[in-house]
Amino acid sequence: MAVLSPLASSMFVPGIAQIAADLKTSKETVVGATTGFVVFLGLGPLILAPLSETFGRRKLYLVCFSIFALLQIPTALSPNVQGLIAVRSLSGFFGSVGIANGGGTISDMFHPSQRAGVFGWYLLGPLLGPTLGPLLGGLITQHLGWRWVFWFLTIICTINTVLGFLFLKETYAPVILENRKHRYEETEGGRFRIANQDDRPFRTRLVISMQRPLKILFTQPIVFTMAVWQAILFGTTYGLYTNFEDIYGGQYGFSTTQVGLVYLGPGLGFLICVWFIVPKVDTIYNHLTKKHEDEPKPEYRLPLANIGAVLIPISLLWFAWTVQYRVHWFVTVLSTVFFGLGQITILNTVQNYYIDSFSKYAASAIAAGAVFRSIVGGMIPLFVSPLFDQVGYGWGVSVFAFLAMALSPAPLVFYYYGEFLREKFAIEL
C-alpha cells in the first residue's frame, strides 16, 4: 500500500486533458482530483496512525486496504468531475494507511542499528509511486482511455488486499501482548497483567491517541521545521509532475508515452540513493553511537541529510533555467536524477529521526510530518501553473529552490542543538 496509494495519486496525470474533454470541464479543475487525493493522503494519518496504536496495525491495514480497493470502482465510473474529485479525496484518506503505519511497522520489527536501510526501501513507495504512476498511466490512457487507469488500480489493489488477509501479521507489541493476555485468560483462567499496562479507560486512551500527532507537530520545533521542509519537497514534486506534460509535451514535442518516461529521472535518483547512500545512514549512526560510549541519539541520523540539503536547491535551479532556455531535454531530465537523490536522503534521515525520538509512538510522529507535507503538496499544484504562466519556468521553479535553500541549514543546526531542543520541549504522550 506504501506504493499503491502514491501510485494512484499521479497515475491519471497524463490523462488530465482527456478527462477534462470527456467530463466537459477544464484541466485546472481536473487537477483538483490530485489535490483532493494528496490532501486527504496527509489528513488520513492524523486518524489512522493513532488508531493503529490503539487497535493494532493489522486491523487498520486490512480495513483500509479493502475500502481503498472498492473506491476505485466508482472512480472509474465517475459521470462528472465533482464525483471524480469527491471519490478521489475519500480514497486518498483510506489509501494513506501505508504512509500512516509503514514507519511504525518498521519500527516494530527492526532494531535502530538496522532500520535506515530497510526504511530506505520502504520510502521508495511514497516517492517511486508518483514517479511510476504517470508512466503506467500514460500507456493505459493512450491505448485504453483514462477510465482504465482506475480499473487497473481496482485489480492490483484487490490482489494486494487478498494478500494482506492471507499473510499480514500484527507487529505492534502492546497489541500482541494484549491478545496474548486474553488467550491466557481464556485457556488458563484467572487474570493476567502486562508490565506497564495502561489502565486508563478505553475512551480516554483513544482521545489521547487521536490528539497525539498534532501535539507532536505543534509542540516540537524540530518536527515542525522538518515537516515544513518535507512539505516544500513534496509540493515541488507534485508541482513539477503536474506540469511535465506541458513542459515536455509542449516545449519538447514529446508524446504521452515519452512524457511518462521522463518521470524515470527522479526514480533513478531514488534507486541510486537507496542502493549507495541510505545504507550509510546506519553505518554513520552506529559509528557515532560507538564513538560516544554506546549512547545512541536520534541526531546521529542527520549527517547525511546535508547531502540532500545541497542537492535539492542546486538540482531545482539547474532544472529551472535549462527548461527556461530550452536546453536539450536530456540535460533537464538529468537534473531530476539529483533531485530524486536529494529527496530520499532527506526523507530517510528525517523519518528515522522521528522514529528514534518517539519510538513507541513512531506512527504518530511520522503522521505529524505527513499531514503538513501532503496538504502543502496537494495545494501547490493548483497555483504552480498560473505561476509558471506569469514568470516562466526559470523564476517559477527557482522560487522552490530558494525555499529549499532557506531550510538547508536545518540538519546541521539540529545535529548540534537537537538534543537541547528535545529536552526543552519534552512532552507527555
In the predicted model, is pLDDT for residue 160 greater than 80? Answer: yes
Average pLDDT (115-124) is: 76
Q: What is the mean pLDDT of residues 53-75?
A: 92
pLDDT in the model for residue 426: 78
User: Between these two residues, 209 and 312, which has the higher pLDDT value?
Assistant: 312
pLDDT at 197: 65
pLDDT at 157 over 70: yes
Grade residue 429 by pLDDT with cuts at 50, 70 and 90: low
Higher pLDDT, 27 or 75: 75
Tens digits of residue pLDDT in 315-356: 999 999 999 999 999 999 999 999 999 998 998 898 888 888
What mean pLDDT is reported for the chain? 86
Q: List the grid coordinates of 38.
A: 494528496
pLDDT of residue 100: 77
pLDDT for 246 equals 87
Per the CB < 8 A criterion, the answer to whether 313 and 357 are in contact is no
Which pLDDT score is estimated for 199? 65
Q: What is the mean pLDDT of residues 32-55?
A: 82
Higher per-residue confidence, 363 vs 340? 340
Residue 196 in this model has a pLDDT that exceeds 70: no
The pLDDT tens digits for 218-255 are: 888 888 898 888 888 888 987 888 788 889 988 999 98
Are the beta carbons of 126 and 267 closer than 8 angstroms? Answer: no
Of 363 and 47, the one with more pLDDT: 47
Q: What is the mean pLDDT of residues 374-388?
A: 79
Which residue has better confidence, 130 or 401? 401
pLDDT for the residue numbered 255: 84
Contacts for 45 with CB less than 8 Å, ≥ 6 apart: 96, 99, 100, 213, 363, 366, 367, 370, 371
The arithmetic mean of pLDDT across residues 361-368, rounded, is: 75
Over 80: is that where the pLDDT of 364 sits? no
> pLDDT at position 322, please?
96
Convert the chain into a string of H (helix), E (strand) and C (coil): CCCHHHHHHHCCHHHHHHHHHHCCCCHHHHHHHHHHHHHHHHHHHHHHHHHHHHHCHHHHHHHHHHHHHHHHHHHHCCCCHHHHHHHHHHHHHHHCHHHHHHHHHHHHHCCHHHHHHHHHHHHHHHHHHHHHHHHHHHHHHHHHCCHHHHHHHHHHHHHHHHHHHHHCCCCCHHHHHHHHHHHHHHHHCCCCCCCCCCCCCHHHHHHHHHHHHHHHHHHCHHHHHHHHHHHHHHHHHHHHHCCHHHHHHHHCCCCHHHHHHHCHHHHHHHHHHHHHCCHHHHHHHHHHHHHCCCCCCHHHHCCCHHHHHHHHHHHHHHHHHHHHCCCCHHHHHHHHHHHHHHHHHHHHHHHHHHHHHCHHHHHHHHHHHHHHHHHHHHHHHHHHHHHHHHHHHHHHHHHHHHHHHHHCCHHHHHHHHHHHHHHHCCCCC
The average pLDDT across 184-209 equals: 72
Q: Which of 8-12, 246-250, 379-383 has the highest mean pLDDT?
A: 246-250
Q: pLDDT band for position 162 (50/70/90)?
A: very high
Residue 269 has pLDDT above 80, yes or no: yes
* More reliable by pLDDT, 204 or 339: 339
* pLDDT of res. 300: 93
pTM for the model: 0.79
Give the lowest-confidence range in 13-17, 68-72, 347-351: 13-17
User: Longest Cα pair distance anywhere in the chain, in angstroms?
Assistant: 77
Across the range 114-140, mean pLDDT stands at 79
Residue 427 has pLDDT above 80, yes or no: no
pLDDT of residue 37: 85
pLDDT at residue 136 is higher than 90: no
The predicted model gives 41-64 an average pLDDT of 86
According to the model, what pLDDT value does residue 91 have?
A: 92
